[in-house]
Structure 1
Amino acid sequence: MGKSEKNYWLIKTEPGKWSWEDQAKNKGISNWDGVKNHQAIKNLKSFRLNDLCFFYHSGTKSPQIVGVVTVIREWYEDDKGNGLVDVKAVGEMRRVVDLKKMKVELKIDKKDFGLFRQPRLSVVPVSEDVWDKILVLGNGYQGDGVCIDDDA
């Protein structure tokens, strides 16, 4: 992923600790912190302003992508030396996309999507191709600029 182009990511959270509803509060802005895995931290450090991230609820009976956030502040350290980025809610998925559906319908090789290759990693890159395929499965997200007739 180049430095000048938009990058895409998937960030995981357990809804009991931080849910989409929590994210939507406070104008949708939050710190994304608490990442401990070295590879996930490296990925988080690669976030650039305006990158988009799928907001993924893990640790549930049906793990699923529920929304999209954008990066509004790149990697920094707080006063305790903990690294974090700031993200802002962009929109809720029009239709949540659960893990089972992705595995069946994306029709991609396991090596082409970090969520399939390293399912425990909390911050994974998403190729533009996979991003677009997931958006199709979810019928996009609120605020994506696409007008959808919900009655269709």
Structure 2
Amino acid sequence: AKGAPWDGVRNYQAAKNLKGMKKGDLCFFYHSNIGKEIVGIIEVIKESFLDKTDESGRFVAVQVRFREKLVKSVTLEDIKKNKALSHLSLIKQSRLSIMPIDSKSWKIINKMSNI
């Protein structure tokens, strides 16, 4: 599968996080506008490259492909209610679209989604 570019990111911290992504990394796919919920898992298939949608040439994109849809979406509200996830950037910087997730939190969120 050739996947699709994850582009259009214009937040400097999020762009820095994109640059840190490695081929094979798994990511939660989070609806940040409508729903505010994690709905699936995607995989990075190509590391950072210049974002063709950015005329300034400052921002990057990564290529991703769909891995799986979550059995049950995990909402931002659900994440906020779970004390074990209170350290996540998603809660502290809710407008940050791309952030690292530690393996313990990854497992907790997967369990919340019935995976």
Residue 32 of structure 1: aligned partner: 6
RMSD: 1.7
Contiguous gaps of at least 5 residues in structure 1: 1-26, 141-152
Partner of 1:92: 69
Of all paired residues, the percent bearing the same amino acid is 38
What letter is aligned with 1:124? M
Q: Using the TM superposition, give the Cα deviation of residue 107 of structure 1 relative to its aligned residue in structure 2, in angstroms.
A: 1.6
Partner of 1:103: 80
Structure 1 pair 63–28 and aligned structure 2 pair: CA distance change class (3 A): farther
CA distance in 2, matches of 1:72, 1:28: 8
CA contact (8 A) 2:85 2:105 kept: no
C-alpha displacement of 1:108: 2.4
1:132 corresponds, among 98, 107, 114, to 107
2: CA distance between counterparts of 1:134 and 1:44?
21
Task: Assess if the C-alpha contact under 8 Å between 1:75 and 1:85 holds in 2.
Answer: yes
Give the CA deviation at 1:28. Answer: 7.5
Q: Structure 2 unaligned runs (5+)? A: none
Give 1:75 deviation, angstroms: 0.3
- Structure 1 residue ranges, 4+ long, deviating more than 3 angstroms after superposition: 78-82
Q: Report SS of the residue matched to 1:123.
A: coil
Paired positions, count? 111
- Taking structure 2 as the reference length, the TM-score comes to 0.88
What is the deviation of 1:109? 5.8
- Residue 9 of structure 1: aligned partner: none
Deviations 1:39-70 (A, max 9, x none): 1110000000110100001222x311000000
* CA offset digits 1:106-146 (Å, max 9, x no partner): 22263x21101110001011111111000000012xxxxxx
